Structure 1
Amino acid sequence: MLHIDLLTKTFGHHTAVDRATIRVDRPMMIGVIGRSGAGKSTLLRMLNRLEDSTSGAIRFEGRDVTRLAGADKRAWQADCAMIFQQFNLVPRMDVVSNVLHGTLNRRSTLASLFSLYPTADIHRAIDILDRLGIAEHAPKRAEALSGGQQQRVAIARALMQDPKIILADEPIASLDPMNAQVVMEALRRIHEEDGRMVIANLHTLDTARRYCDRVIGMRDGRIVFDGTPAQLTTGMAREIYGADARFSEEATSTEIEAIDRVTTRQMPITA
């Protein structure tokens, strides 16, 4: 279904992604983990064709994505929706209009310029917002929503594209634990209910284990782990993150209970 072969990206003398090879033969929810600078975001940006690869190939359903240009490239970017850490919404625009921006790839320039949307698309946008539990916010400006709500608007915009793959680049990095859980559960439901492939860059091991079918670990641009959540041992995590025996999974956790334990340990003892 998705075959990535020896995919490489260099910036000058720096190799951001080094000969990455991945095979995905059915829709899955995949977590990509690793330290900042490991190459996770660059990998997703090459998949979406926001970045061109230096060498290697990306094939989806037999089509060589790396060679697409013009209208074919834009069609691929509609099939491969991107969700960003900072939401990338238009803050002063209402929520439903932000969601409708997911249709821009298949609309005329004139219709896009004057924000002329078919009634069917408006109803579909509201249905998607309802599915994500935020339909009541449809008429509000995006900037009036919380971070977790804004990220769900961004997910709704991606769903308006009716994509085959959803790429999420650190979708919960800016969120508190409660909102992080809501967003990850939404992505998991989309995978399970729609049969869509979801690939998410994540910082935390507990999130990858809880929500993903498969975990890919990157270090210094290279894939150093590719397996199931059960195979992601603490020892393997140390290898991915380049850490020693002092490495604590709880310190990177998004689970409220683990955060509470770490905070309690760090609180000073007073007489």
Structure 2
Amino acid sequence: MLTVTNLTKRFGSKAAVDNANFDVNEPAMIGIIGRSGAGKSTMLRMMNRLADASEGSIVFEGEDITALKGAAKRAWQSRCAMIFQQFNLVPRMDVVSNVLHGTLNRRSTVATMFNLYPEDDIHKAIEILDRLGIADQAPKRAEALSGGQQQRVAIARAVMQDPQIILADEPIASLDPMNAQIVMEALRRIHEEDGRMVIANLHTLDTARRYCDRVIGMRDGRIVFDGTPDQLTTGAARDIYGAGDDFSEAATSTEIQALDRSAATAVNA
């Protein structure tokens, strides 16, 4: 389905993504992990065409995505939805209208200007919110919701696009452990129930192991690991994060139990 070949993005003399190569043969949930600055976000931005590649190609179902321009590029961005760390909602707009923004690429300029939506689209938006457990929040302003609820609204907006791929750029980085688990479970359900490919940038090893079918590790712009969660050993994690023997997985954990154990260890010490 997806082939990334020699993908490179340079900013001046520095390569943020350096000669990345990987194939995805079927819809899967893939986690990309690594330290801040490893190139994870730049990789997703090139896949969504928010950034242009310096070299290489991204081919999806036989189409070279890196070569698209104008209307063809916008059509691709409709098929490849993006979820951001900071939600990117309209704070003073109600939740259901934020979700309906996922249809903007299919609507006329006049309908967009006057905020007019077909009744079927409104029902579909509420159904998606119900799947994510927040249908009761539909009439509220987005700014009135918690961070975890806002991220689920952002996921609902992405699903409203009816995309083939969902890209999530650090979707749980600003959330507490409980909401982080709720959001990751929502992404996993969308992958399993809808058969959509989901690619998420993650900081934490436990999250990647628990929710992803495949894990790609990046370090200094290069892919240094590509395997199953079971293959993501502590030794492999040290290589990805450039850490020494004192590396502790608990330091990257979002699991509540692991955080409790880490806190207890610190108190005992």
Report the TM-score range of the alignment, normalised by the length of the smaller protein.
over 0.9
Q: Do structure 1's residue 142 and structure 2's residue 142 form an aligned pair?
A: yes
Q: Distance in 1 between matches of 2:8 and 2:84?
A: 22
Match of 1:14 in 2: 14
Q: Distance in 2 between matches of 1:113 and 1:225?
A: 47
* CA shift digits 1:149-172 (9 cap, x unpaired): 000000000001000000000000
Match of 1:38 in 2: 38
SS at match of 2:98: helix
* CA shift digits 1:138-193 (9 cap, x unpaired): 00000000000000000000001000000000000000111000000000000011
Q: Is there any run of 5+ residues in structure 2 with no aligned partner, and where?
A: none
In percent, how many aligned pairs have the same letter? 77
Write the mapping of 1:65-80 to structure 2, written as runs, cut at 5 A: 65-80=65-80
Match of 2:180 in 1: 180
- How many Å apart are 1:97 and its aligned residue? 0.3
Write the mapping of 1:96-175 to structure 2, written as runs, cut at 5 A: 96-175=96-175
SS at match of 1:174: coil
The normalised TM-score by structure 2 is: 0.99
Question: Structure 1 counterpart of 2:10, which letter?
Answer: T
Match of 1:197 in 2: 197
Q: Do structure 1's residue 265 and structure 2's residue 227 form an aligned pair?
A: no
Question: Structure 2 counterpart of 1:125, which letter?
Answer: A
Q: Distance in 2 between matches of 1:22 and 1:104?
A: 31
SS at match of 2:117: coil
Match of 2:89 in 1: 89
SS at match of 1:267: helix
Number of equivalenced pairs: 269
- How many Å apart are 1:108 and its aligned residue? 1.1
Question: Structure 2 counterpart of 1:83, which letter?
Answer: I
Q: Distance in 2 between matches of 1:105 and 1:98?
A: 14
Q: Do structure 1's residue 231 and structure 2's residue 231 form an aligned pair?
A: yes
SS at match of 2:15: strand
* CA shift digits 1:217-256 (9 cap, x unpaired): 0000000000000000000000000000000001110001
SS at match of 1:246: coil
Q: Distance in 2 between matches of 1:124 and 1:72?
A: 26
Q: Distance in 1 between matches of 2:77 and 2:155?
A: 15
Match of 1:212 in 2: 212
Q: Is there any run of 5+ residues in structure 1 with no aligned partner, and where?
A: none
Question: Structure 1 counterpart of 2:3, which letter?
Answer: H
**Runs of 4+ that moved beyond 6 A:** none
- How many Å apart are 1:113 and its aligned residue? 1.1
CA RMSD of aligned residues (A): 0.8
- How many Å apart are 1:268 and its aligned residue? 7.1
* CA shift digits 1:102-157 (9 cap, x unpaired): 00011111111110101110010000000100000000000000000000000000
Match of 1:256 in 2: 256
Q: Distance in 2 between matches of 1:203 and 1:64?
A: 29
Q: Distance in 2 between matches of 1:108 and 1:4?
A: 34
